[in-house]
Each structure stands twice: as structure tokens, then as C-alpha cells.
Structure 1
């Protein structure tokens, strides 16, 4: 019922938003003499802040038409190479004059935690000059009809395995935040089956492998409530006329509310600063605010079965580090991983995934030789800075690419990897 009230509120606000937007255009019109006055800019600023605060943000685009390789501008095409009801696999195909065999093939598994895969736009942009990049583009659950079936954590793991089979044994897989658990589980299952398509490397970034290490506010909430509480309070049915009508979901707007209340003072200050930038006609600073919040406020619904299973398995039972994680009746054994090199990355100031939660993967993947393991903790970055921003571009991404290239070189020298039939 709450979801229906949310939708109704948006519908009721539409006339007001239209009127306020028209007023903003009036005060921003260069033909209007008031537009260049402080009073005109103040009125336009109030209108824009109101319009943006009441807007429903749609899925952003990656908007990466080009990259620069060896000083040359190269066109980039987004192509869907694999598709299922809840996910598309996007390939950022570079139009190269000559092949680059030493560039690693990277599968970025984006978080399915409320935001779209475009949250990793900066990650993709940084990798494009030196890697052949693929990314999981998860579909908003409210857009998936009930006839397409359900989607849970087991399905997520199956999707990852299918993608690795598609891309072949020379792939480097990267799990960003939430996917770290299903990525590690998928690799463990493939190793247990002696699958020839296991990736060369596995990089886990800010992922909740063991949330008992330095628990954050997110972890403590899960520990304080049982799974029935989450089912009663955050699971809702998609209202009409969305394609996923009647599907049970964890709505994106609830996820966004949780994220914003964790740092509410910071967001309120950002809105005040945005208003003052508009009044002062500081276009660059205002545009940076728009770019960030256009992405941050664009949210998607998650299927209820995936959300509840993830909360129960990862945050309440700690099934992976406890050795009790099951996938369709088959035990997930991290000690089976022996051929895949592993890199873990954490942020010093991460308030979503505490320090040590990702590094704990080294404690459970005991069969990986020490020479094939590495860990990096990035100073002075939070959760978002682990996979985006200036320090990611300058310090984290080069370490990741060096790790991948070194493993690729070693594998070629040993002749260990041969393409699967």
C-alpha cells in the first residue's frame, strides 16, 4: 500500500512540477531583464531545487562514445552480447585499427543494490584505454513482468557462471561491493566442478564477505532484526501500470531513503550549496552537483526473493565465511579455489562495508597460493571512492590492471589456459 501512496504522490506533484519548471524557464530566459539580477537567479534557483527534489530520476546512460588509446581517439560502441529477463551483458567494443592482445578482458559485475550499473561509469571509463570491458546491466524489477519468473541469489550466481562461460577462460572478473559474495561463490562452484572457464583473476572491491568484521550501521540493522521483520516492513508489490505489476520487490526509493539518512546532514548541505551556486551563477559547481545527483537519485527495485535471501545469507547467517552457503543444494566451498588469483580492495573510510570485511576472503580461500593473492587498502576514501573518483583512477585502477596483466602473462608462459570447447 505504501508503494501505491508513493506513486500517487508523484502523480499528484506533476502539475506543480510543471508549473514550477515553467516559472524557472521564465526567470532563466535571456530575453527577460530580471534573469541577470540576483532576484531573478534566486527565484530560478528555488524553482530548480524544488523540481529536482520532486522528480523521478530515470535510468542514466553510460555516455562513453569514445576513449583515448596511445594518444589516439577511439570510438566505443555499446553492444548487448547476452541477455536474460533480469540482466543484460554490455560490451564496450573499441573500434581499434590493430588488435591489442595484451589488454585484459574484464567482466565488471555491477552492484544490484538499488542503483543502476551506470554507477560504475567512471570505472568503465578508466579501464577502456587498457582493457576490453564487459559489464552487467541489471534490470529494474518493476519493469519485469511476473510471467518472466523469479530472481534470487541462486539465479544471480547462475547468471555470473553463464557469463564466464560466454567470455571464456581468459576473463578477469571484478565484483564491486554487493556482488563480491555471488562472484566468489560462482568461482568456487566452478572450481569445484573443475570448470575450464574459471577466470584468470578475481577482484573483490568493498564487498561484504564477512560482515562480522567492523560492522557498520547497515550490518547492525540486519543483525538486530530477523528476516520476518524485513519481509513485513520493506517488501511491497509493484503498483499498476508498471510492467512488473504485482511483483514483490524491495523498492528503490526505500533503499535510497536508507542511504540518504545515513548522511542526511551532508546531503542537506549539498542542496544548500547547490542553491547558492545557482544564485551566484557558478555554472561549473552547479553542473557537478547535477551530474552526481542525477546518478545517485536514479534507483531501481530489487526482487523480494533476491533481497531477502541476500540479507538472510550474507548479513544474518554469515553463510559464506561460516562454510554453510548452499547453491541449489550444492555446498559452496571457497577452499576449492586454487587456479584463480585474487585481489581484494578496501577503502579506509568505508561506512558501508567496514575494513576487513573484504579482506576476510583471504581467510576462507585457503587453497589459493600466497603468490596469487594480494590486498590493497586505499587511504582516505569511502565506499564510493573504492571504485570511482580521482584516487581510484590514479592509485587503485593501475594496481588492478597490473595484477590482471601479470597473471595473464604468467598463464600464457605456463600454457595453463586453453580455450574450452
Structure 2
């Protein structure tokens, strides 16, 4: 009923949004005398704010059309190279007729399936693409996947990672942002146990919940405070008609977004108050910066119910991976099988979603890796999103990942020559 109520409320507000948008457009016309008064600017700002906070935000475009390589502006072509009902493997192909043939490391960036679209990692991709051959898992909104496509759970997520690493090929480096850290580590262990020649050359786990018993956060406490039946009864809903995924059971994106915003509600309220004042004052730069951020932040997707419930139980409640009880397709997942992949973990000092030590726990599980294959870094002064986006990511975190990847490739080439 939650989803249907949400859809009904959205539909009921549609004519009001249309009127608010019309008023904003009229008062934005310099030929309208009221537009030049304080009252007119206040009405226009109020209408624009109302329209912005009540509309539904679709998936943002990646918008990566070029990058800088060696001082040259190099066109970038976005292409889907592998497709399943639940994911598109997206490749950002640089025009080598401009920059010359490149032999940059192949990197699979595994985006989180946690409510936001993969485009939240746009800044991550823009930084990496200059010196890496980048592929990204672009997960599909579950409400757009028809029921006949079947289920999608944590086991399927792991299988997708294995499939995509094999598709990209030998000597692939994998970066997991937040939630995918667990399935990426599990997939690496499974491929290592199989003796798969395409197993990742390195994995970088960034702000991921490997062991949520370390410095538990509000998110972790909430997951532990209820049994899995409570989540199934209270946050799982069927997708309403007329969506393509009608009757598919999902964890709706708007519920996840409500949880995200509740964690820092005062900050969001203050941000919108500042946006309102910027509109009145005509501070276009500040208003546009606000729009860009919230156009991305408020764009959410539904998650398959099976994936959400299995992740909550396996990762956040039972701690199966750190306890050595995790299974994939009925087979045990043993991180001790990882013997030659470099494992790098990155944490933010002020991360309020994934506490310090939760990602570092991966090193304890990879007990058969030599010391030189363990890399850990804590970035001072950043929260969860600062680990993979922003100034600190560009200037301090990404250069360390870059050097690690190149050191691994150099060592592998030298070993192959000997």
C-alpha cells in the first residue's frame, strides 16, 4: 500500500506542480513588471522550490563527452557492451585517433545498488577515465524490469560481477564503492577458489560494510533492531501499474531516500532554505549548484526485494562473510582462497554510514595474502561520499589507487618476463 499511496500523492500533486512551473516561467519573464519586485521574486522562488521538492526525478544522464589526456581534449563515447535484465555494463571509450593508442589498465567500477543510480559515481569516472580504461555497472531500476525476467538477489549480484570480470578479461582491476564491497570480495574469493585465470588483478574496496560490527553506525543499528520479517512486512511493496515491472516486489527508492535524508535532515532543510534565498537574491551560481546536487541526490531507483532482504540478513544481521558462513549458490565463500590479488581498502575518517574498521576487516579475512598485497588507507576529514567524490577523492585518494594499480601491472609484467 505504501507504493500505491506514494503514486497517488504524486498524481494528485501533478496539477499543482504544473501551475507552480507556469508561475515560475511567467515571473521569469523580464517583460512582466511583477518579476522586478521583491514580492514577485519571492513568489517565483516559492513556486520553484515547491515544484522541485514534489516532482519525481528520473535517471540523470552520465554527460561525460570528453576528457583531458596529455593536454588534449579527447572525445569519449559511452557504450553498453554487455546487457542483462538488471544491469548494463557501460564502457567509456576514449577516441584514440586523437590521443593515440592507449594501454591503460582496465578497471571495472562496481556501483552500489543502494537506491541511487550509478550516475552518482560520475565524478569518480571523470577522474579515473583520464588514465584508465573504465567500465561501470549501471544497474537498472527494478520497477522497469518485468516480472517474467525472474528474481535478482545477492547471489545474482555476485554472478554478475564474475560474468563482467570475465567479459573484460585478464588483468582487470575492480573498484567497489560502498555496498558492492561484500559481493566483490566474495566474487574474487570464488574466482580464486576456481583457479579462474580472469580473477581480478586487484580489488579496491571503498567504504564498504565487510564487517558492520566494527564501529556500528545508525544504519547498522537500524538493520539490527528489527528481524528480517519486519523488513519484509513493512518496506517491501509490489510495483504498481502502469510501470513495466508491475507486481514485482521491490524495496522502493523513495523509502531509501527518506532514510538517507532523515540522517541529516537539518542539513537538507538548511540547504533548501539557502536555495530559496538564492533565488530571491538572484544568485544564479548558488541556485544552479543546488539544483545540480539535488537533481542527482533525489533521483532514486527501486531495488529487487530478494536482493534487499538477502543483503540485510547476510551482511548486516548475520555477518556471514566475516563469520565464515557465507555461501554462494550453496558453496562456501572462503576469502582465504585469495592468494595473489592485491586488496586495497579505503575509509573516510568521518564516515557516518560505514564506520571506521568495517572495510579494513577485509584484510583479516584474506589471511593467505602476502603482506605486500595488503593496502589500507584512511582519508582524514571526509565522510561517506567524500571517499569517492570531491576534492579529496581527486587529489588524495584516486592518486593512491592509481599508483597501486600501476604497481600491480608492473609487477605482473616483470613476473611474466621472468
TM-score range, shorter chain: over 0.9
Does the 8 Å contact 1:359/1:375 carry over to 2?
Answer: yes
1:26 aligns to what?
A: 26
1:227 equivalenced with 2:242 (yes/no):
no
Whole-Å separation in 2 of the counterparts to 1:196 and 1:291? 42
User: Counterparts of 1:50-89 in structure 2 under 5 Å?
Assistant: 50-89=50-89
* TM-score under structure 1 length normalisation: 0.98
1:330 aligns to what?
A: 331
1:100 aligns to what?
A: 102
Does the 8 Å contact 1:208/1:358 carry over to 2?
Answer: yes
1:215 aligns to what?
A: 216
In structure 2, relative to structure 1, the CA distance for the partners of 1:158 and 1:245 (3 Å cut) is same
Whole-Å separation in 1 of the counterparts to 2:285 and 2:172? 39
Deviation for aligned residue 1:34: 2.5
User: Counterparts of 1:238-253 in structure 2 under 5 Å?
Assistant: 238-253=239-254
- SS at structure 2 position matched to 1:64: coil
Deviation for aligned residue 1:38: 2.4
- SS at structure 2 position matched to 1:169: coil
Deviation for aligned residue 1:416: 8.3
- SS at structure 1 position matched to 2:357: coil
Whole-Å separation in 2 of the counterparts to 1:63 and 1:30? 31
Whole-Å separation in 2 of the counterparts to 1:109 and 1:30? 47
1:172 equivalenced with 2:173 (yes/no):
yes
1:349 aligns to what?
A: 350
Deviation for aligned residue 1:129: 0.8
- SS at structure 2 position matched to 1:299: coil
- SS at structure 2 position matched to 1:187: helix
2:203 aligns to what?
A: 202
1:3 equivalenced with 2:3 (yes/no):
yes
1:151 equivalenced with 2:152 (yes/no):
yes
User: Counterparts of 1:251-262 in structure 2 under 5 Å?
Assistant: 251-262=252-263
In structure 2, relative to structure 1, the CA distance for the partners of 1:416 and 1:108 (3 Å cut) is farther
- Structure 1 residues not aligned, in runs of 5+: none
- SS at structure 1 position matched to 2:241: coil
1:389 aligns to what?
A: 390
Deviation for aligned residue 1:326: 0.2
Deviation for aligned residue 1:100: 1.7
- SS at structure 1 position matched to 2:293: helix
Whole-Å separation in 1 of the counterparts to 2:34 and 2:401? 53
- SS at structure 1 position matched to 2:245: coil
